[in-house]
Chain A
């Protein structure tokens, strides 16, 4: 951990993600407005950033066309965007680890069929699949999480498979076999903990990717539905008012880029720190 923070990329990534997470969790403390409340629309819409509306309320990032405070929506949107990203990656992680470990540990037909499934899923055009799944069922936040999770596990399965394959013949595993431990226990207690390094890195990168895809689906109107704010649907609503109120679209985009960059840098730094070979 100390090594990670000494790395400039790791420190930056941790800091940005920590700030974003704290803001998201403590949303009611960071802002005192309600994200979906529409008060006096005519008087308070399109207030530019860093100014006060007629009622004296201060808007650090301005207001949108319904007079809603952009900063407040950004913070509550972080709850949705980060939440969806993290939960989707957890779904992918669970699927990927189970499938990868099973394929790596039980050789023969199990391994062959699981690997074939992985290759097949890897070859599916992800965005097309996302569009289909999201458009065919009633769009909702839960659906987005499931869909992103279901289409993101293949890379992780590949990684786990490779690690398990290389760990299985090692002496400490054979020791456990000789001690009479059962297969499940060996896999869970001895092999998987040692196989987690690349998985953690992939998860960090995956969160960034999932956030971008969630925003993309919401942007096309197939993801998180209004009035619940997500960074994606905030960009959509901002794109309609790009001329008179560009800040409505700019703010969530900036937040998105910042968080995704943080995830990528953290992933890179983690890889260097966790893998002593790559440290060189």
Chain B
């Protein structure tokens, strides 16, 4: 198990390194010059050259890359070209907003999806099953930004219930205790609902499939033959066994959820990593893009590994299989 984990860790590291190298190359191969963008069209050649030297952009590509890796490893992520702020501070400020949003929506959507999927499998072929299937396929197909807009239309413009963007109201600094919490929750409601609804669509489809596969297994027939109630069979025997593929999906969907968050953050002006990334890409803000891409690559790899470890924890067969490669 440990050797296997070490192997995975190395492979993960290689992927992250690959992503970072690829991004670095893409950024430098692509047309467009951050220095020109910074100084404007009136800059003289001497000014451009001076700025280039100041930013370290005059060195050769491998040299720049090595410098960047060295600094990044030591925790010096550079300063944003666009805003002049340290990249670490920028991302540290944005990170909790995204983490909250993604984690909450992941937990809520999987809890609901487990319930819905189990219910569908229990009532397989019924009208309720069909109805829920159509609903989850539709939710799965809806683009996040459009669903977000529709929720804004209904809850902000028509019902005038919830705020449409930002993480806190203008008066947030003067609020304390319950009213502060309420303000935060009201701002969280729509982005969270958007991400969660989409998450439910994908996960419920998958849970239903996994449950149906499990229900065809002999041990379910045994449990039924023993005279256990259907509720017990579904809730205890089937659900626990169907959980392994679902947990794997959960780990794998972490990066997808992060991508979804990029669009949802754009719609709701949610001050998270996704928005920082989109703005940095638009502005050719090299240091910010590199850091944000590295973080998202780490997230993808971590999600895959988490899925692996969790699956081993849940299913003894997976553990045994690993032990004898």
Contact = CB atoms under 8 A, between A and B. Distances in A.
Contacts of B152: 242
B277 A264 contact: no
A235 interface: yes
Contacts of A256: 141, 143, 146
Interface stretch (B27-35, B233-241, B313-321): B27-35
Interface residues of A, number: 35
B255 interface: yes
Which of B143, B152, B153, B266 has the most chain A CB atoms inside 10 A of its CB?
B143
B300 interface: yes
Interface string B112-144: 000000000000000000000000011011110
Given A216-B143, A242-B152, A123 B300 contact: yes
Nearest to B300: A125
A260 B289 contact: no
Contact of A128 (B140, B142, B153, B259): B259
Contacts of B262: 127-128, 131
Interface in A218-248: 219-220, 235, 238-239, 242-243, 246
Contact of A264 (B137, B255, B304): B137
B143 A120 contact: no
A216 B260 CA distance: 10
Q: Which of B146, B149, B263 is the most central at the interface, judged by chain A CB atoms within 10 Å of its CB?
A: B146
A132 B26 CA distance: 8
B82 interface: no
Contacts of A243: 157
Of listed A127, A133, A239, residue having the most chain B CB within 10 A: A127
Contact of B149 (A132, A220, A249): A249
B293 interface: yes
Contacts of A250: 150, 153
B23 to A, nearest CB: 7
Nearest to A128: B296
Interface in B254-313: 255, 258-259, 262-263, 266-267, 277-278, 281-282, 289, 292-293, 296-297, 299-301, 304
Interface residues of B, number: 44
A167 to B, nearest CB: 25
Contacts of B18: 120
A149 interface: no
Contacts of A249: 146, 149, 153
B168 interface: no
A264 B141 contact: yes
Nearest to A242: B153
Contact of B19 (A124, A135, A253): A124
A16 to B, nearest CB: 12
A238 B150 CA distance: 11
Contacts of A125: 19, 255, 258-259, 293, 296-297, 299-300
Interface of B: 14-15, 18-19, 22-23, 26-27, 30-32, 137-138, 140-143, 145-146, 149-150, 152-153, 157, 255, 258-259, 262-263, 266-267, 277-278, 281-282, 289, 292-293, 296-297, 299-301, 304
Given A235-B143, A257-B146, A261-B137, 7 more contacts: A125-B258, A131-B278, A132-B27, A136-B32, A220-B266, A242-B157, A250-B153
